[in-house]
Structure 1
Amino acid sequence: MAEPARTATASSKAPQRHEVRRADLPLSCPLPSMAVWDEHPRVYLSIVEDGGESQCPYCGAIYVLID
């Protein structure tokens, strides 16, 4: 008997990349302005301490500080 086909569990969707400014700090994901503001618990990201780029541990969104 043949084994059932396996499906991928990881999403093939690339993480979203968002540019933010110092005026947007403190940075949280999701941002209050996002349509998916309730997609996962709000998490604060230390983008300045991370060298200007942070990634959300929940959804994988990438935030880049541009100023």
Structure 2
Amino acid sequence: MADNTDKAQPIAVTAHDLPLHCPQPGAPLWARHPRVFLDVLKEGKAVCPYCSAQYVFSGERPSGHH
């Protein structure tokens, strides 16, 4: 998972990052907010309702998810 220092740039996530939640581990203190889980598999992308970070799923989907 790439560090998101530019909120305009989507963060690429893979099956390894699931279940996806924001903020990510290691986020700087200023970027902390209540943890929210995001369904990035539904549309291939998700936006955090707290900080507007954009996540885009890439790679192979995990088995059992459509």
TM over 0.5: yes
Unaligned residue ranges in structure 2 (runs of 5+): 1-5, 60-66
Q: CA deviation at 1:33?
A: 2.9
- Structure with the largest fraction of helix: 2
CA contact (8 A) 2:23 2:33 kept: yes
- Structure with the largest fraction of strand: 1
| Larger Rg belongs to | 1
1:53 paired residue number: 45
Unaligned residue ranges in structure 1 (runs of 5+): 1-12
Structure-1-length-normalised TM-score: 0.67
Q: Which amino acid aligns with 1:59?
A: C
Between the two proteins, the alignment pairs up a number of residues equal to 54
Percent identity, please.
43
Structure-2-length-normalised TM-score: 0.68
